[in-house]
Amino acid sequence: MAEFTMELSDEQKEVRDWLHGFAADVIRPAAAEWDEREETPWPVIQEAAKVGIYSLDFYAQQYFDPTGLGIPMAMEELFWGDAGIALSIVGTGLAAVGVLANGTEEQIGTWIPQMYGDADDVKLAAFCSSEPDAGSDVASMRTRAVYDEAKDEWVLNGTKTWATNGGIANVHVVVAVVDAELGSKGHASFIVPPGTPGLSQGQKFKKHGIRASHTAEVILDNVRLPGSCLLGGKEKLDARLARAREKAEKGGMGVPPLERSREWGRVKNAAMATFEASRPAVGAMAVGTARAAYEVALEYAQTREQFGRPIIDNQGVAFQLADMRTSIDAARLLVWRASWMAVNGKPFTAAEGSMSKLFASETAKKVTAQAIQILGGNGYTREYPVERMHRDSAIYTIFEGTSEIQRLVIARTLAGMPIR
């Protein structure tokens, strides 16, 4: 187990500086253009692939960093460059992690390379979970997967929404209901290969922020998949469903209500552990955006003169900058702590993953708003990047669990209550 430390190793510093250089030289100069175009920034993704950033190898190296700091460090630097473009670069990782976490070795070896392609032929992947009526409430998911035993095929029907790269991806990973009576325990994940009939893109969303990242609905109309496309395989799924049914039956046969509640809470908490471990990465994205806005505001306050002196000499501005920097550093500390805990198997007894995401996302919204205030009228125009950063920051309090859901998770964890 790696000891928790705030000091990056020389190797980590090299990676950080390399990513920062790419963000400064490639991402930032393109940010305003692709925000206005509201299109996937293919040239930037291709450049990231050429240098090795858009690749499974790079993502895996950071993911398996024993200190836990590889992913948050990478996310902070890329999102410091621009949130929309950075999300286009890292969005495939959501689907890749889904396959790595649930797939067989054969599935991992077959599908993940097809998610990334190579520098000459870049591919994308999409992770499709949310639905029009099932966002935070995953138990309300309606997309169904029915097994056709005669043909050893799964038939998927439903609509997914808010899917990053949805409809334009080569490979889609889709979460669907296989046993509605088991709630979220009756879900399974499926690979939808390129060109599969029945999968189509629905509405493409025109968003407030992160406009360079493609977000759309995915329509599944009698999508037929070979049995081999069920992540983990049917034998593993059948065993998991049988265990869930057995627990459900025991829960309703003479077990005292309090004990049933405690058991249900333990099951749900175990399921939530996956989300808890991924939320610090979103927190790191928020830290990157907040830091970028703070740096613009600091430079502006040092050079902008009013009444014969730089505006940073005014206490009202200086105190805002002090609060901004303090909040950013505090957010990073929470993110790094949670990331280290996740990689080293430390239990989130106080929902530390949700804490980091909550604080960092709220910090990003506040800091980017303060940056606009410091720049005054200039900050409100698109001539300066803080206007875009403020729009981008709004997403952090929404995706991967809203701030309200984070507070609910934290409160219920502290109280020892079930997480619904």
How far apart CA 272 and CA 396 sit, in angstroms, is 19
How far apart CA 371 and CA 291 sit, in angstroms, is 10
> How much is the CA Rg of the chain, to the nearest whole Å?
22
Tokens at residue 391, please? Answer: 């729009």
Q: What are phi and psi of 39, to 5 degrees?
A: -130, 160
How far apart CA 272 and CA 276 sit, in angstroms, is 6
Instruction: Give pairs for 41-48: CB < 8 Å, separation 24+.
Output: 41/84, 41/85, 41/88, 41/212, 42/122, 44/85, 44/88, 44/89, 45/88, 45/89, 45/122, 45/124, 46/119, 46/122, 48/22, 48/89
How far apart CA 12 and CA 353 sit, in angstroms, is 22
Q: Which of 345, 333, 39, 12 shows the shortest CA–CA distance to 210?
A: 39
Of the residues 11, 246, 400, 404, only one is catalytic, namely 400
Tokens at residue 263, please? Answer: 């058991």
How far apart CA 136 and CA 141 sit, in angstroms, is 10
Cα torsion through 113, 115, 116, 117, rounded to 10: 70
Q: Report helix angle 403-415 to 257-303, nearest 10.
A: 130
Respond yes or no: is residue 131 known to be catalytic: no
Contact 162, 132 (CB under 8 A): no
Q: What count of other Cβ atoms lies within 10 Å of the Cβ of residue 384?
A: 18
Q: Which residue is associated with the tokens 């599908």?
A: 111
Amino acid letter for position 261: S
Contact 166, 160 (CB under 8 A): yes
Tokens at residue 159, please? Answer: 């609509």
Q: What are phi and psi of 157, to 5 degrees?
A: -140, 135
Amino acid letter for position 158: G
Contact 81, 27 (CB under 8 A): yes
Catalytic center residues: 400
